[in-house]
């Protein structure tokens, strides 16, 4: 029987100003997912971690994605999947998307790479719908394509890979839970025209900054006048982290996905490490357990680490 092991990277969605349309893949943290093709048209899930995620395929993001691939192929086969989750669910660094993207890429590998990346995003979005109630691709697209991605449209799907210069990413995960569905519910349904203008100026500026390798422009464009003012209220210490990190030399940053993680981009590793110390300091003072990652943009997305 064919089997494959893939590494499924964490991802940062939104990138501050690009709510639901921008995302990037991280080198760390990453889940490990092992997938085996079986003759029986069923999905069997095993957890290799302590998170106790559901093993019924309809309730696990990886299961939903695999079922949708099986259905597309007339249920001619099934899968056994073992998940070692290293990205804590509900962290805001794309834990559910890592399983969705990983399951789609691994299944495709076992099926002789018959699907395009865009088709894999379509399958994987079924999993994100389970986790957050909406089909969105801002974690899945960078997970599958790697690097920075723009999801210009979901219907029809239009994904653009954005070139980016070398960037270090520091992420702090305060150990509190913010559910994606809750973080969506508190958002206002209307925006002021003046805010929309400022926001799309920033989105365009950020994309241009990435493509030109213009660090100053990237920094200036990491501003969110629509989502952050509402969502940051759910994250204790947010304002202090942001201010202190920028004072320490970060280009900028903000809420990772729907939080509670906060990410910061830096030009070099020395600054990224200083930023990590600043983040730790803020959460030590507030007395909230936290975990910090100093990492970089992952240009490859989900990768095969073992086959056979
Ligand atoms: P994140 O941004 O970290 O992905 P979400 O809140 O979007 O967090 O998703 C986590 C939710 O999805 C949790 O309720 C979790 O139980 C559920 N879930 C189901 N299957 C998985 C999976 N394979 N990996 C992660 N979360 C999963």
Along the 308 residues of the chain, how does pLDDT read in single tens digits? 599 999 999 999 999 999 999 999 999 999 999 999 999 999 999 999 999 999 999 999 999 999 999 999 999 999 999 999 999 999 999 999 999 999 999 999 999 999 999 999 999 999 998 888 888 899 999 999 999 999 999 999 999 999 999 999 999 999 998 877 788 889 999 999 999 999 999 999 999 999 999 999 999 999 999 999 999 999 999 999 999 999 999 999 999 999 999 999 999 999 999 999 999 999 999 999 999 999 999 999 999 998 87
Tokens 């893939």 label which residue? Answer: 6
The CATH number of the domain holding residue 262 is: 3.30.70.890
Residue 244 and residue 282 in contact, taking contact as beta carbons nearer than 8 Å: yes
The DSSP result for 47-91, as a single string, is: E-SSS----SGGGSHHHHHHHHHHHHTTT--EEEEEEE--S-TTS
Residue 126 CB–ligand 1 contact under 6 Å: no
- My answer on whether 138 and 191 are in the same domain is no
105 and 43, same domain (yes or no): yes
Q: Is 66 in the pocket of ligand 1 (CB under 6 A)?
A: no
> What average pLDDT does the chain have?
96
- Do 105 and 189 belong together in one domain? no
Residues 149 and 204 in one domain: no
- State which ligand 1 atom lies nearest to the alpha carbon of 13: 2
DSSP state of 237: T
* pTM of the complete model: 0.96
Which protein residue's CA is at the shortest distance from atom 24 of ligand 1? 96
279 and 201 share a domain? Answer: yes
If asked whether residues 12 and 155 sit together in one domain, one would say yes
Beta bridge pairs of residue 3: 36
User: Which residues are the active-site residues?
Assistant: 128, 180
Per the CB < 8 A criterion, the answer to whether 228 and 202 are in contact is no
Are 74 and 97 part of one and the same domain? yes
CATH of the domain at 21: 3.30.230.10
Nearest residue (by CA) to ligand 1, atom 12, is 131
Whether residue 125 has its Cβ less than 6 Å from ligand 1: no
Of 255, 278, 252, 251, residue with least CA distance to 267: 251
Are 37 and 57 in the same domain? yes
Q: What's phi and psi for 194, nearest 5 deg?
A: -65, -35
Regarding whether 185 and 39 lie in a shared domain, the answer is: no
Return the H-helix or E-strand segment holding 105: helix 95-110
Q: What strands, in cross-sheet order, belong to the sheet with 290-296?
A: 252-255, 262-266, 168-174, 290-296
* Whether residue 204 is found in the same domain as residue 276: yes
First-to-last CA distance in the chain? Answer: 8
Question: Which residue among 11, 90, 136 has the greatest number of ligand 1 atoms within 8 angstroms of its CB, and so is best to mutate?
Answer: 90
3-state secondary structure of 221: helix
Residue 158: exposure state from Cβ atoms within 10 A (0-12, 13-18, ≥19): exposed
178-237 tens-digit pLDDT: 877 788 889 999 999 999 999 999 999 999 999 999 999 999 999 999 999 999 999 999
Residue numbers of the domain that contains 279:
168-296
Number of domains comprising the chain: 2
CB 103, CB 82: distance < 8 Å: no
34 in Cβ contact with 4 (< 8 Å): yes
Residues 188 and 46 in one domain: no
Q: Are residues 74 and 190 in the same domain?
A: no
Question: Which atom, in ligand 1's list, is nearest to the CA of 128?
Answer: 7
Taking the centre of ligand 1 as the mean of its atom positions, its distance from the CA of residue 176, in whole angstroms, is 15
| Nearest ligand 1 atom to alpha carbon 179 | 6
Using alpha carbons, list the distances in angstroms from residue 84 to 49, 67, 129, 226, 258: 5, 20, 21, 36, 23
């Amino acid at each position: 029987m064919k089997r494959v092991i893939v590494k499924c990277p964490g991802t940062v969605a939104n990138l501050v100003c690009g709510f639901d349309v921008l995302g990037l893949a991280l080198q760390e943290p990453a889940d490990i997912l092992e997938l085996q093709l079986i003759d029986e048209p069923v999905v069997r899930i095993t957890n290799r971690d302590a998170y106790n995620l559901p093993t019924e395929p309809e309730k696990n993001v990886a299961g939903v994605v695999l079922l949708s691939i099986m259905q597309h192929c007339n249920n001619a086969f099934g899968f056994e999947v073992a998940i070692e989750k290293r990205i804590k669910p509900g962290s805001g660094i794309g834990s559910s998307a890592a399983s969705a993207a990983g399951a789609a890429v691994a299944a495709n590998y076992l099926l002789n790479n018959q699907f395009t990346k865009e088709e894999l995003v379509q399958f994987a979005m079924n999993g994100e719908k389970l986790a957050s109630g909406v089909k969105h691709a801002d974690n899945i697209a960078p997970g599958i394509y790697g690097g920075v991605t723009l999801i210009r449209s979901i219907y029809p799907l239009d994904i653009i890979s954005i070139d980016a210069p070398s960037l270090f990413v520091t992420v702090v995960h305060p150990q509190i839970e913010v559910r994606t569905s809750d973080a969506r519910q508190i958002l206002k349904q209307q925006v002021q025209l003046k805010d929309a203008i400022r926001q799309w100026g920033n989105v365009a500026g950020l994309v241009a900054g990435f493509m030109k390798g213009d660090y100053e422009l990237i920094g200036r464009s990491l501003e969110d006048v629509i989502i952050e003012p509402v969502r940051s209220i759910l994250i204790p210490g947010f304002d202090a982290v942001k201010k202190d990190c920028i004072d320490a030399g970060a280009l900028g940053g903000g809420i990772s996905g729907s939080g509670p993680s906060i990410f910061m981009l830096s030009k070099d590793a020395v600054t990224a490490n200083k930023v990590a110390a600043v983040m730790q300091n803020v959460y030590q003072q507030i007395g909230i357990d936290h975990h910090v990652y100093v990492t970089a943009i992952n240009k490859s997305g989900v990768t095969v680490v073992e086959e056979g």
